[in-house]
Structure 1
Amino acid sequence: MQDIPHFAQMQNAIFPFIGSFVFIVLHIYIYKALLKSLSAKLFVRFMWKIFTYFNAISCIAYLFLRNSAYVPQVIYFLLSLCLGITFLFAMAAFLYQCCSIIIITLRTKSARARWRHRTKVSILLLTLIVLVFGTYNGAKKPDIVHINIELEGLNTPIKAAVLSDVHIGGLMEESKVKQIVKMTNELNADMIFLIGDIVDAPLKNVQNALKELKNLRANEGIFYVLGNHEYFHDVENILKELKSFGFHILVNQNYTLKNTLNIVGIADFMGWRVGYLEPNIDEAFKNIDPHLPTILLAHQPKIIDYLKAPYDKVDLVVSGHTHGGQIFPFSLAMLLQQPFISELHTLKNLYQTKVYVSQGTGFWGPPMRIGSKHEITLLELVPPR
């Protein structure tokens, strides 16, 4: 069995160096491909060079300080924002190079020079607008999403609130968690599903913020499954803390709710990488009542690829992990790894399994949302008409 604290330390030690190299390469690309030739004036070029250096250093600082409990929130926000600036400017540089393929077809040199400048300025202005919008969208409170789902075999309506990918730690501090708890309780849900990546920092750094979750209220219980990010921290202590709140911790376990439905929870696929708290479908579905509808809680939507007989009789899968892509066009890359990145879907199998993928209640990395939203979902589960 791999030692989880050692694994987390190893990952946290290596990741900043790899990330730093990537960010250095990205900033060289951004300056060479886009910023350098925005103006022929030496002073303007110098200012763009200073901007590039400052943003690169800020990104590297974020990587090394991301798990520190001593960084002020304002500084942490600015460092996090620099990550988003990098992603947007890299996409802007790539977009300009795509446009250049068309521009080089123009006949005269003066026309090419004129349109190159116009294109660069237009793309830069568009990038700044998107940056402001994305930051506003990431900072505002989560949307409440209502989803109505008919479950075969369900004999009474049930309301379930879904929180996923809160990523407590960093910018998701005590006041933000308190707001999320308040909004969730106002839904008067019968049960609450916590679909992983709830905690994304060492427990000692986020103890007060995490304790806000004790105030969640649901008559039929609160159910938690592991996400991949919990594995990078003191996962055992996180599980113990959440269990002490009275939550149902479903690590390859199931729970039968008053002869109404089965709730199955499975550990995240990260467990296979680290050889600890590994997902085990056999254990998760052991002794469930086959006559009741079944809800499967799993952090990653690709769990559906493992639902083979006799474990394919699942009525609803609830997942998160994807953040809805968080910043477009990364949603396109996410689709290479996951079958769905948001909303409700129906599988073409014998049981017409429904799959709901939350876009996440918080965010990871840059405090931005572009082409996605953070959400608290209320699943209204009803008997078939």
Structure 2
Amino acid sequence: MRFIIFATIFISVMTLLTLLISRRFIRKLHFSKKTKLYLNIFLAINLLGVVAYMFVRYNPSVPNWAYFLLSLPIGIIFLLFIATIFYEVFALLINKSIKDESRRDFFKRGLDFTAVAVAGGVNAKAMYNAKHIELEKVEVKIKNLKQEYKIVQLSDIHIGGLVDKTFIANLVKRVNSLDADIIAITGDLVDTKMKYAKPALDELKNLKSKYGTYFIIGNHEYFHDVAAIIKYVNSLGIKTLENENIYIGEENKGFYLAGVYDIFGNRVNAYMPDLKKALQGTKNFPKVLLAHQPRYIKEIDEKVDLVLSGHTHGGQIAPFNLLVKLQQPYVKGLNKHNEDTQIYVNKGTGFWGPPMRLGASSEISEIRIIPT
């Protein structure tokens, strides 16, 4: 039922955007009727692709090439809508600033061709960006830490669809080359039914680090049998931190790594985050907390040196990051929350929906925590 409601709202929004693009952009282009007809047909095909995508999202029998084609229209329509907004603004400026009709017509035609070319180029660049995972290196100073540790953070991998066994196998090779002390996976690892996710998850058994790999659930795990996901991830030799902590490092020279359930658990009244329980027994040692959503930082009422989060995807496709900012206090990167707490937000190692990224690359985070 939840899926039907979401799909209905999502398709309705995409339909509205499609109509706006057609009427406020394509209709105003100084192109031939035939060319505009082709552009509207292309737009309609993309809308049909959005509808089809909603039905194949969790169906692994769909070939990767078909899944790829059906997942693109969401991003294409969104970026064309943004192009429409810019087109309207520049068209208005031309109308207001140029009085001579022939010159105004010349600039409008130039705007038409430029807008279409830029829109196509931006879409192509967004697809290119999603295929390349960047290594983001950051150094975080922590009080009372006795020695340096390297944490490799992965987040929002979203196994399912294009994020398959091959994707994870390649990811594991890159992570292992970083020689991490610990690996932290901060939620939204699985985004399909467990029976389909297992081949990709099995690749995570090959992750190597000095003190192990740790996982917390994100909001998407609640959609796919969170208990089964936790059980299977644990069977791979990866420790799920369930409102608990573990000591990392040599005696009196390490830190506590804690993890909480996602705040989505408060909505479903199950697997709810409990910070007090997660930090129990950590005393005055340095603390690193894994919490999927950055806004959980508002619940922290005691000293935590560093919070590692994900969820936002860095906005994934700009300017969507501006909307994310309305819900989350931090969207990406290292941020100083207060005198006691810093937070690092991973932009996501995979992607959700369209295999597109603009202004927010996929990332593996290499976080060196060092003594002050």
Structure 1 position 373 matched with structure 2 position 366: no
Q: Distance in 1 between matches of 2:173 and 2:45?
A: 38
Separation (CA, whole Å) in 2 of partners of 1:14 and 1:204: 25
Q: Does 1:358 align with 2:346?
A: yes
* Cα RMSD for the two superposed structures: 1.5
Partner secondary structure for residue 187 of structure 1: coil
- Rounded Cα–Cα distance in structure 2 between residues aligned with 1:188 and 1:267: 27
Q: Give a deviation string over 1:285-333, Cα, whole Å, max 9, x none.
A: 22x222210001101111221112xx2x111111111111111111111
Q: Match for residue 348 of structure 1?
A: 338
Deviation at 1:150, TM superposition (A): 2.1
What are the ranges of 5 or more consecutive residues in structure 1 without an aligned counterpart?
Answer: 1-9
CA contact (8 A) 2:156 2:311 kept: yes
Residue aligned with 1:264, SS: strand
CA contact (8 A) 1:19 1:60 kept: no
Q: Which residue of 2 is the match for residue 275 of structure 1?
A: 269
Matches within 5 A, 1:37-52: 37-52=28-43
Given that residues 16 and 64 in structure 1 are in contact (C-alpha distance below 8 angstroms), is that contact kept between their aligned partners in structure 2?
no
Hey, what does 1:325 align to over in structure 2?
315
Q: Residues of 2 paired with 1:48 and 1:331: CA distance?
A: 28
CA deviation map 1:100-151 (0-9, x unaligned)? 32233132444444333322221111111111111111112x1222222222
Q: TM-score, normalised by structure 2?
A: 0.95
Aligned residue for 2:128, secondary structure, equals: helix
> Given that residues 30 and 112 in structure 2 are in contact (C-alpha distance below 8 angstroms), is that contact kept between their aligned partners in structure 1?
no
| Amino acid of the structure 2 residue aligned with 1:52 | L
Asked if the contact 2:348/2:362 (under 8 Å) is kept, the reply is yes
Please list the CA deviations of residues 176-227 of structure 1 after superposition, one character each: whole Å capped at 9, or x if unmatched: 1101111001111111100001111111112101111111112212111111
Residue 245 of structure 2 is aligned with which of 239, 254, 274?
Answer: 254
Distance of 1:92 and 1:111 partners within structure 2: 23
Match of 2:78 in 1: 87
Q: What's the secondary structure of 1:104's corresponding residue?
A: helix
Which amino acid is 2:226 matched to?
V
Q: 1:118 aligns with which of 110, 115, 119?
A: 110
Instruction: State whether structure 2 residue 5 is matched by structure 1 residue 14.
Output: yes
Is the Cα–Cα contact under 8 Å of residues 19 and 63 in structure 1 kept in the other structure?
no
AA aligned to 1:271 is: G
Q: Equivalents in 2 of 1:31, 1:360: separation in Å? A: 32
The percentage of counterpart residues that share the same residue type is 37
The partner residue of 1:216 within 199, 207, 222 is: 207
Please say if residues 36 and 48 of structure 1, whose CA atoms lie closer than 8 Å, have aligned partners that are also in contact.
no
Report the equivalent of 2:119.
Answer: 127
TM-score (norm 1): 0.92
Aligned runs of 1:172-183 on 2, under 5 Å?
172-183=163-174
Distance 1:110 1:279 in 2: 65
Q: Which of residues 280, 299, 302 is equivalent to 2:295? A: 302
Supply the distance in 1 between the matched residues of 2:28 and 2:337 (Cα, whole angstroms).
Answer: 50
CA distance in 1, matches of 2:313, 2:255: 28
In 2, Cα distance between equivalents of 1:237 and 1:348: 37
Equivalence for 2:69 = 78
Q: How far apart are the structure 2 equivalents of 1:150 and 1:40?
A: 58
Contact 2:261 2:272 in 1 (8 A): yes
| Partner Cα separation in structure 2 for residue 38 and residue 101 of structure 1 | 14
- 1:194 paired residue number: 185
- Looking at structure 2, the residues matched to 45 and 149 of structure 1 have their Cα atoms a distance apart, in angstroms, of 53
Q: Any conservation in 1 of the 2:168–2:203 contact (CA below 8 Å)?
A: yes
Correspondent of 2:149 among 129, 152, 158: 158
Q: Is the 8 A contact 2:346 2:363 kept in 1?
A: yes
| Cα deviation code 1:80-103 (max 9, x no counterpart) | 111111111010111111223223
- Offset of 1:373 from its aligned partner? 1.0
Paired position in structure 2 for 1:138: 130
